[in-house]
Amino acid sequence: MSLQTPRILPAHLNTFHPSSSGPRSTHTIRILGTVTNLRGDQATITCGNNGDVTLLLKPDSHLQMGKLVEVVGKVTDLDGGQGLGIRVLGTTDWGNPADCDYKIYEQVVEATHRFKSIFYDAE
């Protein structure tokens, strides 16, 4: 048994929040976005036309402004009731966002959730 990390869009954060109903086996997710803001231990990524997500970084996270990153992390509450964010476990730099067709990623998220059986165990 190994850890599964479903690929999601910002709209799905709620579903993977620890407090959401159902004994979901994982709150660890993968998300793809462009780094649009960096401040101290927080960063913001923009996920195509699907909105922004706040990341809580690790001390050894190396993010660069304007780069496309894939984030593996846990869905968590932000301080001061600012909604949901992601506590980063790891990031992968994919370079220039222009080289990625975000529409394809949206389709990937759609396909991986619709035909779940080959991607993720039922929660």
To other proteins, the closest distance from the beta carbon of 118 in angstroms equals: 5
To other proteins, the closest distance from the beta carbon of 87 in angstroms equals: 17
d(CA 45, CA 33): 5
Show the tokens assigned to 50: 């699907």
Task: Tell me which of 39, 49, 81, 115 binds other proteins, using CB under 8 A.
Answer: 115
Task: Tell me which of 48, 76, 100, 123 binds other proteins, using CB under 8 A.
Answer: 100
Show the tokens assigned to 89: 């476990």
d(CA 34, CA 41): 17
42-46 and 84-93 strand pairing: unpaired
DSSP alpha helix (H) spans, 1-123: 102-114
The answer to whether the beta carbons of residues 44 and 54 sit under 8 Å apart is yes
Count of other CB atoms within 10 angstroms of residue 1 = 5
Stretch that binds other proteins, among 39-47, 59-67, 80-88, 113-121 (CB under 8 A): 113-121
Considering beta carbons, is residue 43 or 68 the nearer one to other proteins? 68
Per-residue binding string, other proteins, 48-87, x by CB under 8 A, is: --------------------x-x-----------------
Q: Which residues bind other proteins (CB under 8 A)?
A: 2-7, 30, 32, 68, 70, 90, 92, 94, 99-101, 104-105, 107-108, 111-112, 115, 118-121
